[in-house]
Amino acid sequence: MGKHASSGKYAIVGLGVVAGPQPDRSERMIAAEAARLAIADAGLTRADIGGAIDLRRTGGGGDRASYSDAFTRVLGIKNNFYFTCGRGGALAGLGMAATMSYLDRGIADYVVLMGAVTDWSQSQETRKKGFRGMAHAEKRGYWGKPLGDSRAVSHHSWMAARHMAVYGTTSAQLGAISVAERQWACMNPEAKMYGRPITVEDHQNSPLVAEPYHLLDMSQVSDGGIAFILTTADRAKDCAKPPVYVLGQGFGEVSADLWWEKKNFTHMAVEPAKKQAFGQADITLDDVDCAQLYDCFTAEVLFQLEDYGWCKKGEGGAFVADGNMAPGGSIPVNTGGGLLSCYHLGDLTGLAESVRQLRGEAGERQIEDCDIVLTTGHGGELVSPGMCSIHTCTLLGRHA
């Protein structure tokens, strides 16, 4: 087969991270700061940036509206294009795919992609008002909301429950995923849960939220921003940091398996995404040194370990309980602590960790001879009853 012509043609050359609570800051200032850090990290200036993509979990609205107060304008980037992009927890993968087309045609030499959230600060506000999460009363929206449907947590916990019913997976096995990610987080000073190790017993004793999910099955609610700079491989060589090459990208939608086929409750749309990305890069799963798998909840990690083929379908529970994804395991997963223990900035969390691993900047948790990283995103409520739909797979490498 051989590599696809696009493999290794583009690279990430800059990374900017604003982590931790940002209670007194607007989302757009966090966004602009992350972008400023990424530009500096690449050894570039604002004048080099030709375009910008604002990565969002939802299509629009919110604090950093795209009209008069884009982060690019706050920062002073004289860009040729700016738009928002995202689908649930799939942001960076989609933004990168769009960026490559602009780079390819010379519309921009360097593009900044940025995602920022103030979920944690906002949750503190709603908690003061006496509840958790949403308070919406609008008459439009998703099926099930008058029936107690709480979207992500309701739908994802069904999937975990279904996997348990079909394959006998246990809550304690899901707990092993939380524990492994916490072990990684304890080697990452940037992680929210740094210095706070947990055991499977702690997981089992944590409050039930949407059974089978305990509190420790759920990802963090975070503030922060992550930005990165993408350019072509020839320009990447002249940047300040070692380039991180894009070896392949693939996409899948669970909606391709129509929901009434009922196939989508124990797996993600990995199959097409894997085939495309690994085909472009011309590599196999054995070539992957570590994986940053989207982990809004624990079972999503389990599904992906099975769907990519690190273990057989239905055997993910035993696989994680044996420590395979933990430090020292056969496939290190979410080496920065992931969404469960580091911070939740969509698929940007895993992307930032991928860049650090491939640059050799991961400190105590650095994977030896880390050449290739697989990083995924997924999300987007699409069908009724709701499911997380898109799956994105991005393969990154130290060499083109």
Binding positions for other proteins, rule: CB under 8 A: 130-150, 153-154, 157-159, 161-162, 164-166, 168, 207-213, 258-260, 262, 265, 384-385
Residue 286 phi/psi, 5-degree rounding, is -65, -20
- Tokens of residue 26, six digits: 């607007």
Which residue lies nearer to other proteins by CB, 234 or 261? 261
Which residue lies nearer to other proteins by CB, 162 or 241? 162
CB of 313: closest distance to other proteins in angstroms?
17
CA distance 230 to 226: 13
Distance of CA 200 to the CA centre of its chain: 24
CB of 11: closest distance to other proteins in angstroms?
41
Which residue lies nearer to other proteins by CB, 32 or 218? 218
CA dihedral 332, 158, 127, 334 (to 10 degrees): 10
CB of 56: closest distance to other proteins in angstroms?
21
Task: Report CA-CA distances (Å) from 210 to 124, 170, 175, 267.
Answer: 21, 15, 15, 20
Which residue lies nearer to other proteins by CB, 144 or 360? 144
Q: Provide CB contacts within 8 A for 383, sequence distance 6+.
A: 254, 255, 259, 389
DSSP calls for 379-395: EEE-SSS--EEEEEEEE
CB of 239: closest distance to other proteins in angstroms?
44
Which residue lies nearer to other proteins by CB, 47 or 134? 134
CB of 62: closest distance to other proteins in angstroms?
19
Which residue lies nearer to other proteins by CB, 163 or 235? 163
Handedness of CA 285, 287, 288, 289 (dihedral sign): positive
Q: Peptide bond before 146: cis, by omega within 30 degrees of 0?
A: no
Which residue lies nearer to other proteins by CB, 66 or 204? 204
Q: Bridge partners of 53?
A: 83, 113
Q: Are 231 and 11 in contact (CB under 8 A)?
A: yes
CB of 219: closest distance to other proteins in angstroms?
15
Give the residue among 114, 314, 142 at the shortest CA–CA distance from 229: 114
Q: Are 101 and 108 in contact (CB under 8 A)?
A: no
Give the residue among 257, 185, 259, 254 at the shortest CA–CA distance from 216: 185
Which residue lies nearer to other proteins by CB, 216 or 283? 216
Which residue lies nearer to other proteins by CB, 261 or 368? 261
CB of 57: closest distance to other proteins in angstroms?
17
Q: Are 39 and 111 in contact (CB under 8 A)?
A: no
CB of 210: closest distance to other proteins in angstroms?
5
CB of 387: closest distance to other proteins in angstroms?
10
Residue 282 phi/psi, 5-degree rounding, is 55, 50
